[in-house]
């Protein structure tokens, strides 16, 4: 039952109850009121009878029999109980006896006593009636009070209920008014949409959000408000989805500017007070633009505006995922040559401006569909899709050429070169990360090749370089575990054929790969810087070995190959001095062999070191002479003592005129500069004779001996006139 129904029923019950109580009270009051009516008449009649009997004497009685009868009849008429045994019955009997014998004084007395007894009985009844009336009055009072209280209570309850109803109604009204005010004043656009897509309510904010009159939009299809985007909402309405549906629409303000609005479409068809769909939209154009800006910043380089590493790797990953033809995606890794130099000498602002120009040139040189990114510093990467390796190389060559066009910054003209590594994707095998890393590796190869080069990633070459890394790690422990050994190859006086000295040549007794020649590990040691500790070890071991051959300063010389890195390192000369002091080897017995390239790399540092060595009294030899690009001029400037003519000339000296004439020229120059000449790699007697006849002083080669262990070298010295057959004694592979 509804609440109002319950209220009506309660009210009726209260009225009926109240009426019953009132009627009951009236009836009781009336009953009590009339309770004593009969008794009073009876007592009145009995008193009248007593008054009639009182003056009578036996003499006057006969005349008063009529009066007495009337008085007795009145008593009976008043309703006195005359049933047998009652005082009434005794009175009636007495009256009859008196009527029969009025003169009999006994009959008169009997009548008087009967009347008296009746009055006593009636008085007692009157007393009892008074008590009953009092009790009834009390009960009446109680009932009346209870009734009044019940009615009052009911009235109070009703009052309260009414009050509550009123308050609730007021609240609802207030809430509705507030909601309405909110809707009317909301900055959000609120549209109540009927199922057919027409708007039945449009909040006033339509004016500010869309520049449209809300009233004019009511009754119109949503399309008038939202344009084409109404399709989005239409589709949702047709799908009849429940709950809140997020909505994002792109709108056009009446003034023509574009807006982005976010909101919800809510199905309120089941809500009786609405019975429609409610679309709320908020203008988020500014937030949207800010978010896009942030997004742009997160994925672009702030200096050049190019994609950054995050965006590049994302595009790369996607490209590799959707790649149709194997090898169709290529990554070009660009590194500007000598860019550090620009920054260091001309400042970062010049560097930055150069980078911006480079970025613009790169961006302009590739297709819009290619991704050009700045990975950081002077590193750029380009992702080319649907391209093979050959085309990627061609494109790179073209762009590299364009890049080197002069750039003017701060009135100064720059020419930018870059080294580029190219890697192409392998179907299903490469991830974006790998491809980028491969291009990076290829870029380093390009750098090694020389500035402005392009190198293509080659997995075989990479595997080999990985071996190098492993080799370097092993070399560290090899130095500690004594796996490195020195062999010694004699240098011989070409005329007397006596041993004049030895060249210390390092070997690695590798636990798994056997005896390794320096060609197999020295380049790796050079790349990692390990060549310095390696060189220190060789120097010390060679000097110690030389001392075991002879302690005399006239003893055989010991030649040690010193890498350019080691030579130009500050402290090298001191190190040599220390080793000489520690081992006791006279400085004049030590020959430091350096290659021509040392002098080209860092001439000044090399010159300083060589002068320091010369000051110590150490000999200096230029190794592999004739193979480098050295000019003759430095030979006169530098403290050089020995030229070692490279084996490549000696090999052909007896068979090729060209080699012979180069060798002759070297010998001639050497003589004029007062340098000692050692011919390397003499394998035949013919070569030895040819060289000896043309003034070459010393020789070194398999003709006399391969590099041998120290003990063999000692044996050779004992009998240097009769050097053993090289093949028979050799331990060198």
- Residues near ligand C2E (CB under 6 A) are 489, 505-506, 517-519, 522, 535, 538, 561, 563, 593, 623-624, 680-683, 700-702, 707, 732
Size of the site for Mg ion (CB under 5 A): 5
Residue 489: contacted member of Mg ion, ligand C2E, none (CB under 5 to 8 Å, by partner type): ligand C2E
Report how far apart, in Å, the C-alpha atoms of 134 and of each of 35, 388, 503 are. Answer: 11, 126, 152
H helix intervals, 186-256 = 206-210, 214-217, 223-226, 230-239
Give 115 or 623: the residue with its C-beta nearer to ligand C2E. 623
Give the nearer residue to Mg ion in terms of CB position, either 108 or 576. Answer: 576
Q: What's the token pair of residue 223?
A: 């399309």
Complex with ligand C2E: residue 245 or 563, whichever CB lies closer: 563
Closer to ligand C2E by Cβ: residue 263 or 535: 535
Query: Residue 170: is it exposed, middle or buried by C-beta count within 10 angstroms (0-12/13-18/19+)?
Result: exposed
Nearest-approach distance from CB 647 to ligand C2E, in angstroms: 6
Q: Quickly tell me which residue has 């109540």 as its tokens.
A: 192
- Determine phi and psi for 503, rounding to 5 degrees: -105, 130
Q: Shortest distance, CB of residue 637 to Mg ion, whole angstroms?
A: 22
221 by Cβ neighbours in 10 Å (0-12 / 13-18 / 19+) ranks as middle
Candidate list 115, 596, 624, 712; residue touching Mg ion; CB under 5 A: 624
Least spacing, CB of residue 620 vs Mg ion, in Å = 12
Contact partner, 707, from ligand C2E, Mg ion, none, Cβ < 5-8 Å per class: ligand C2E
Min dist. Cβ of residue 580 to Mg ion (A): 19
**Which span (84-92, 128-136, 290-298, 587-595) binds Mg ion, by CB under 5 A?**
587-595
Question: Which partner in ligand C2E, Mg ion, none is near 535 (CB below 5 to 8 A by kind)?
Answer: ligand C2E
Quickly count: other Cβ atoms within 10 Å of residue 303's Cβ.
12
Measured from the CB of residue 537, what is the shortest distance to ligand C2E in angstroms?
Answer: 9
Q: What, of Mg ion, ligand C2E, none, does residue 505 touch, CB below 5 to 8 Å by kind? A: ligand C2E
The secondary structure of residue 260, as a DSSP letter, is: E
Q: For 604-653, give the DSSP string.
A: HHHHHHHHHHHHHT-EEEEEEETSS---HHHHHHS---EEEE-HHHHHHT
The sheet that has 189-193: what strands, in order across it? 199-202, 189-193, 276-283, 258-268, 244-252
Smallest gap from Cβ 541 to ligand C2E, in A, equals: 9
Contacts from 538-541 at CB under 8 Å and sequence distance 24+?
538/484, 538/486, 538/504, 538/506, 539/575, 539/576, 539/579, 540/579, 540/582, 540/583, 541/486, 541/504
Give the residue carrying structure tokens 């004699």: 490
User: Rule CB under 5 A: is residue 623 a binding residue for Mg ion?
Assistant: yes
Which entry of ligand C2E, Mg ion, none binds 517, CB below 5 to 8 A by partner kind?
Answer: ligand C2E
Q: How far is the CB of 447 from Mg ion (least distance, A)?
A: 27
- Side-chain half-sphere CA neighbours of 617 within 13 A: 10
| Cα Rg of the chain, angstroms | 66
Rank residues 532 and 638 by Cβ distance to ligand C2E and give the closer one. 532
Nearer to ligand C2E, 94 or 681 (CB): 681
Which runs of consecutive H residues, i.e. helices, occur in 186-271? 206-210, 214-217, 223-226, 230-239
Residue 517 or 528: the one with the smaller Cβ distance to ligand C2E is 517
The partner in contact with residue 432, picked from ligand C2E, Mg ion, none with C-beta cut-offs of 5 to 8 angstroms by kind, is none
Give, as one character, the DSSP assignment of residue 300: B
Q: How far apart are CB 315 and ligand C2E at their closest, in Å?
A: 46
Query: Cβ closer to Mg ion: 343 or 687?
Result: 687
Q: Which is nearer to ligand C2E, 399 or 538 (CB)?
A: 538
Name the nearest CA neighbour of 693 among 713, 664, 669, 670.
664
Residue 641 contact partner, candidates Mg ion, ligand C2E, none, CB within 5 to 8 A by sort of partner: none
Q: Are 494 and 715 in contact (CB under 8 A)?
A: no
* CB closer to ligand C2E, 43 vs 566: 566
For 498, which DSSP code? -
Q: Whole-angstrom Cα distance, residue 438 to residue 332?
A: 10
Of the two residues 209 and 549, which places its CB atom closer to ligand C2E in the complex?
549
Give, as ranges, the residues between 593 and 622 that touch Mg ion (CB under 5 A): 593
Residue 626 binding partner per list ligand C2E, Mg ion, none, with a CB distance cut-off of 5 to 8 Å that depends on partner kind: none
Least separation in angstroms between CB 560 and Mg ion: 8
What SS3 class is residue 405? coil
The contact set with Mg ion (CB under 5 A) reads: 561, 593, 623-624, 680
């Amino acid at each position: 039952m509804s609440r109002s129904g319950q209220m009506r029923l309660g009210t009726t019950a209260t009225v009926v109850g109240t009426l019953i109580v009132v009627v009951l009270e009236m009836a009781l009051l009336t009953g009590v009121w009339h309770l004593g009516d009969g008794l009073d008449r009876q007592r009145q009649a009995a008193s009248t009878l007593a008054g009639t009997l009182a003056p009578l004497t036996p003499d006057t009685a006969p005349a008063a029999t009529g009066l007495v009868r009337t008085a007795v009849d009145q008593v009976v008429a008043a309703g006195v109980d005359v049933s047998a045994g009652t005082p009434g019955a005794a009175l009636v009997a007495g009256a009859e006896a008196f009527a029969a014998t009025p003169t009999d004084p006994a009959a008169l007395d009997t009548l008087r006593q009967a009347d008296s007894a009746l009055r006593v009985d009636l008085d007692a009844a009157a007393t009892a009636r008074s008590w009953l009336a009092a009790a009834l009055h009390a009960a009446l009072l109680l009932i009346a009070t209870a009734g009044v209280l019940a009615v009052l209570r009911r009235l109070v309850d009703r009052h309260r209920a009414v009050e509550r109803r009123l308050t609730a109604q007021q609240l609802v009204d207030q809430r509705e008014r507030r909601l309405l005010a909110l809707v009317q004043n909301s900055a959000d656009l609120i549209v109540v949409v009927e199922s057919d897509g027409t708007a039945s309510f449009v909040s006033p904010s339509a004016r500010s959000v869309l520049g449209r009159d809300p009233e004019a939009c009511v009754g119109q299809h949503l399309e008038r408000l939202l344009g084409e985007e109404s399709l989005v909402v239409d589709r949702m309405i047709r799908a009849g989805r429940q709950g809140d549906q997020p909505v994002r629409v792109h709108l056009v303000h009446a003034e023509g500017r574009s807006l982005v609005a976010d909101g919800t479409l809510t199905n309120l068809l089941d809500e009786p007070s609405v019975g429609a769909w409610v679309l709320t939209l908020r203008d988020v154009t500014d937030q949207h633009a800010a978010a896009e800006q942030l997004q742009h910043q997160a994925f672009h380089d702030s200096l050049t505006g190019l994609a950054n590493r995050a965006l590049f790797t994302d595009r790369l990953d996607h490209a590799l995922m959707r790649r149709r033809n194997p090898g169709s995606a290529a990554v070009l890794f660009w590194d500007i040559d000598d860019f550090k130099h620009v920054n260091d000498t001309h400042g970062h602002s010049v560097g930055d401006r150069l980078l911006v120009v480079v970025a613009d040139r790169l961006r302009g040189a590739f297709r819009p569909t290619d991704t050009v990114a700045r990975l950081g510093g002077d590193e750029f990467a380009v992702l080319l899709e649907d391209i093979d390796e050959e085309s990627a190389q061609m494109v790179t060559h073209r762009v590299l050429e364009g890049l080197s066009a002069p750039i003017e910054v701060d009135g100064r003209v720059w020419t930018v070169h870059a080294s580029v590594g190219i890697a192409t994707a392998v179907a299903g095998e490469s991830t974006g990360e790998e491809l980028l890393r491969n291009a990076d590796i290829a870029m380093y190869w390009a750098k090694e090749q020389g500035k402005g080069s392009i190198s293509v990633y080659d997995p075989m070459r990479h595997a080999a370089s990985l071996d190098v890394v492993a080799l370097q790690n092993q070399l560290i422990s090899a130095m500690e575990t004594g796996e490195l050994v020195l062999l010694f190859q004699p240098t011989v006086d070409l005329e007397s054929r006596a041993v004049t000295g030895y060249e210390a040549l390092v070997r690695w007794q590798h636990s798994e790969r056997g005896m390794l020649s320096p060609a197999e590990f020295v380049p790796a040691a050079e790349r990692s810087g390990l060549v310095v500790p390696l060189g220190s070890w060789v120097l010390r071991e060679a000097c110690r070995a030389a001392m075991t051959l002879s302690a005399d300063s006239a003893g055989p010389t010991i030649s040690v190959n010193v890498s350019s890195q080691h030579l130009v390192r500050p402290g090298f000369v001191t190190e040599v001095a220390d080793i000489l002091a520690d081992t006791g080897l006279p400085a004049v017995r030590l020959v430091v062999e350096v290659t021509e390239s040392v002098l080209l790399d860092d001439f000044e540092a090399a010159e300083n070191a060589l002068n320091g060595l010369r000051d110590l009294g150490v000999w200096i030899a230029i190794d592999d002479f004739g193979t480098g690009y050295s000019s003759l001029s430095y030979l006169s400037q530098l403290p050089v003592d020995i030229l070692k003519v490279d084996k490549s000339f000696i090999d052909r000296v007896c068979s090729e005129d060209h080699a012979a004439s180069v060798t002759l020229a070297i010998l001639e120059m050497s003589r004029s500069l007062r340098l000692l000449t050692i011919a390397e790699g003499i394998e035949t007697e013919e070569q030895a004779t040819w060289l000896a006849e043309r003034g070459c002083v010393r020789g070194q080669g398999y003709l006399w001996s391969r590099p041998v262990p120290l003990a063999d070298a000692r044996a050779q010295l004992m009998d240097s006139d009769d050097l053993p057959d090289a093949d028979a004694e050799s331990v060198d592979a």
